[in-house]
Chain A
């Protein structure tokens, strides 16, 4: 019975052309997104080739992450050049665009398409799945024909879900096949694993969105009302909770303002340099400044620790609040899987500091005697996929729980449906 109902849903979607239209839309959007982000990645790669240091330069730069083609996240910020010198770490070349209008509008990567556009389509596919039948009177017929309400719920969900997800999955698979030959994006074995995990997560997220829409459909008797409710839910899930969650976290967690952090770094510099000059004037010889540079680094590292701690707390609180929405949880976990998340940026900065402290004696030496030094190449570490998935259990659980709750609502609403 379940399969019969599901088949009816699929044939209806095929007959009305909805599935075909969705396939064409998905193909166009995913292809455009991939093309645009691939060009963007190529530009960043060219930049990286320019700013890549030679071994005599104490500079830490990471190449752009090929997975950022699918979810750019913070890859721009992570591609900055961290230049180590005797007084600290300066930011050299960056991947920032010359066009400031980029920051006004969202990046059209696959993450955006899945999180916003396809989620909207999921709501549009699901909002009248049950109430449409109620309006037409066909739900009555189904119930009276002996099909259990559970079977109706599962059958309709399954049919609608297949009709919705199959075209997107096909379009995605098609572009994935073309990623290497057409776009030349070179992914390593580990990258493919991450990409597949990301796409699986996207499928779960879209399925949950669809389930929420079907649950809404079961709650209302008129498709028009269900649509308003579905769109309202989409707005809350995709825009309101993620944006205002971070905003609320900022009200709760106080992070030292960055202007004051910069002032503090300057104060440390000024204070230590001043001491050095005074000692020099007092006639002290030897590596006077070296001691003060060392102290400068120590104090600045402590400051960075404090700032990183506060930002970490803010990020954790934001993630906690944003997770209430499947879109927020999806965004957080997806960027972590693809290594372009806030956590990855923090990890990179930890690595840069470790690298800086390891090469600092040579940097001081080079400054003192001018001799050429060969520095080790900086390599950023990356959390393994297993670690990411273990750390992202809360996000995944949040998405699944919301899906389970929506399923529960669907069954309860359908069981309470009065067929008279």
Chain B
């Protein structure tokens, strides 16, 4: 871009920005942005504080219960919920707290999920962006000022870029101000102690929001450059908004489900139960027969033993040490058969779930790909990755929990059962009360800022791509635009 073009581009930007800043539209937008951002962050911060308090109570409650009523067979039921993620003060993500696996669930959490910044920015700011940009060309054409603008020595590219940048800046002013207010609310909250990671993630989130809003301004400018009247621009803009925000995200999981189907979880649970129960029994009985067969062939006297009743068998075993040794061999063969049956079925069940997981991941990927035709899901995924409230954080947590189970919990549990057995070898440790308040507690370490940014980068890149693509199509449209 030469100096002349740069100057004209800036001139248009400044003109657009100044005009919007003194307009009624800006006032309405500023009120909406301030109000919604501040209210959302304030309410979510309050919710977080309450959840944190509840978490503290739950920890104390659990410790006391494990001390009073602890026994090993119920330890799973005492699992502690994770400490609330401090970033849920801005984005709730997949966190619903509906407790659907319990009888006492909260249906309202499902029926009315809490709104957060991902929704407020994603749904409402995109609409504001289109309202700011829809008449960029068509409105000026109707007013007759576009002719004057083109008559000056300003290239059409500069006009389109200047209008997009100017209108974006005008909308970003209240957005940034609203976010600063949100940051103040968070900084002032005594229960929210954000670390550098959280502040860094919030800064990248704000940048992603700015790119997202800019992409919609570019969409508005693009539509305006292809339509003749402001009214038509508006109708087309709202249609595009409805498709991008209301239709594509809602339909994409269903379309992905049809393209990349998975078995239902219930179906698999049933299948796994049958495999681990009746099928395992059938296999165990068959293998047991096979494993015992050589021993029974070698020791024909066993037939006479098995013909006896319970009492007779006990007497025969007690009186004949050789028979007892043979019976021990038979028992060892049977144990080995059942171990094998258990292992075969466990591996089959694992393979079943592994196959399901592959299909599930394929469906999730398909959902993400399909929904990527709209900037809204890209923004939502970026927001969830940055705040650690999405799928990636869930997977990250599962890996940590698995490692914790293997390296910390399992050794602790073995130590407890060993110590119980050492005191009394006949103890039924499964049903014996033990003070379990010392149970190691899993604490999730959220992903580093670098990891989150790397995860969100493709989505943010996609948003940039949308912005440039809309702008490029806008330039193409305006190059052939009849300004009369």
Contact = CB atoms under 8 A, between A and B. Distances in A.
B397 interface: no
Interface stretch (A140-148, A182-190, A310-318): A310-318
Interface stretch (B97-105, B193-201, B293-301, B416-424): B97-105
A13 interface: no
B185 interface: no
Contacts of B99: 258-259, 261-262
Interface in A257-275: 257-267, 269-271, 273-274
Contacts of A51: 266, 270
B360 A304 contact: no
A240 B124 CA distance: 10
Contacts of A32: 251
B145 to A, nearest CB: 15
Contacts of A46: 264, 267
A349 B102 CA distance: 11
Nearest to B356: A98
Given A40-B254, A73-B111, A267-B65, A50 B270 contact: yes
Contacts, number: 234
Given A93-B266, A94-B266, A99-B363, A270 B356 contact: no
A225 B135 CA distance: 13
A307 B377 CA distance: 36
Given A46-B264, A98-B265, A244-B115, A260 B57 contact: yes
A108 B367 contact: no
A318 B107 CA distance: 12
Interface residues of B, number: 91
Nearest to B135: A224
Contacts of A180: none
Contact of A50 (B234, B249, B267, B371): B267
A355 B230 CA distance: 63
Nearest to B96: A103
A258 B108 contact: no
Interface stretch (B69-77, B152-160, B331-339): B69-77
A82 interface: yes
A247 interface: yes
A264 B434 CA distance: 19
B81 A259 contact: yes
A303 B104 contact: yes
Given A91-B103, A228-B28, A315 B108 contact: yes
Contacts of B235: 124
Contact of B100 (A91, A117, A269): A91
A258 B108 CA distance: 13
B46 A251 contact: yes
B55 A259 contact: yes
A50 B266 contact: yes
B257 interface: yes
Given A50-B266, A74-B107, A99 B250 contact: no
A77 B62 contact: no
A45 B39 CA distance: 41
B28 A259 contact: no
Contact of A277 (B78, B246, B265, B433): B433
A342 interface: yes
A101 to B, nearest CB: 5
Contacts of A335: 111
Contacts of A227: 234
Main secondary structure of the interface of B (DSSP, over half): helix
Interface string A101-114: 11111111000100
A263 B111 contact: no
B334 to A, nearest CB: 24
B389 to A, nearest CB: 10
Interface stretch (A163-171, A196-204, A231-239, A405-413): A231-239
Nearest to A271: B69
Interface string B323-357: 00000000000000000000000000000000010
Main secondary structure of the interface of A (DSSP, over half): helix
A259 B107 contact: no
A320 interface: no
B359 to A, nearest CB: 8
Report which residue of A77, A107, A271 has the largest number of chain B beta carbons within 10 angstroms of its beta carbon: A77
Interface in A109-167: 112, 116-117, 120, 124
A100 B391 contact: yes
B286 interface: no
A122 B252 CA distance: 25
A351 interface: no
Given A50-B270, A260-B57, A270-B69, A88 B107 contact: no
A345 interface: yes
A75 to B, nearest CB: 11
Contact of A101 (B39, B47, B51, B391): B391
A228 B55 CA distance: 44
A346 interface: yes
Contacts of A250: 47
A102 B253 contact: yes
Contacts of B115: 239, 243-244, 247
Interface string B104-130: 111110111111000100011001000
Nearest to B261: A43
Nearest to B78: A266
B25 interface: yes
A96 interface: yes
A255 interface: yes
A239 B103 CA distance: 30
Contacts of B124: 235, 239
Interface in B242-280: 242, 246-247, 249-254, 256-258, 262, 264-267, 269-270
A36 interface: yes
Given A108-B250, A247-B43, A262 B102 contact: yes
Contact of A99 (B25, B106, B256): B256
Contacts of A107: 250
B406 interface: no
Contacts of A82: 103
A346 B103 CA distance: 11
A262 B24 CA distance: 52
A311 B107 contact: yes
A89 interface: yes
Report which residue of B39, B46, B100, B256 has the largest number of chain A beta carbons within 10 angstroms of its beta carbon: B100
A270 to B, nearest CB: 3
B353 to A, nearest CB: 11
Nearest to B112: A246
Report which residue of A51, A94, A223, A250 has the largest number of chain B beta carbons within 10 angstroms of its beta carbon: A250
Given A116-B246, A255-B106, A247 B114 contact: yes
Contacts of B363: 98-99
B65 A304 contact: no
B112 A88 contact: no
A43 B264 contact: yes
7 tightest Cβ-Cβ pairs between the two chains A and B: A270-B69, A257-B54, A258-B99, A108-B250, A105-B249, A243-B115, A246-B112
Given A91-B102, A96-B100, A269-B69, 13 more contacts: A40-B254, A46-B264, A51-B270, A73-B111, A77-B110, A91-B101, A97-B257, A99-B360, A103-B113, A231-B127, A247-B114, A260-B57, A307-B104
Interface of A: 29, 32, 36, 39-40, 43, 46-47, 50-51, 73-74, 76-77, 80, 82, 88-91, 93-108, 112, 116-117, 120, 124, 223-225, 227-228, 231-232, 235, 239-240, 242-244, 246-247, 250-251, 255, 257-267, 269-271, 273-274, 277, 303-304, 307-308, 311, 314-315, 318, 335, 341-342, 345-346, 349, 352
15 contacts: A51-B266, A97-B253, A99-B256, A104-B380, A105-B249, A120-B238, A247-B114, A251-B43, A259-B58, A266-B69, A266-B74, A269-B69, A308-B104, A315-B107, A352-B103
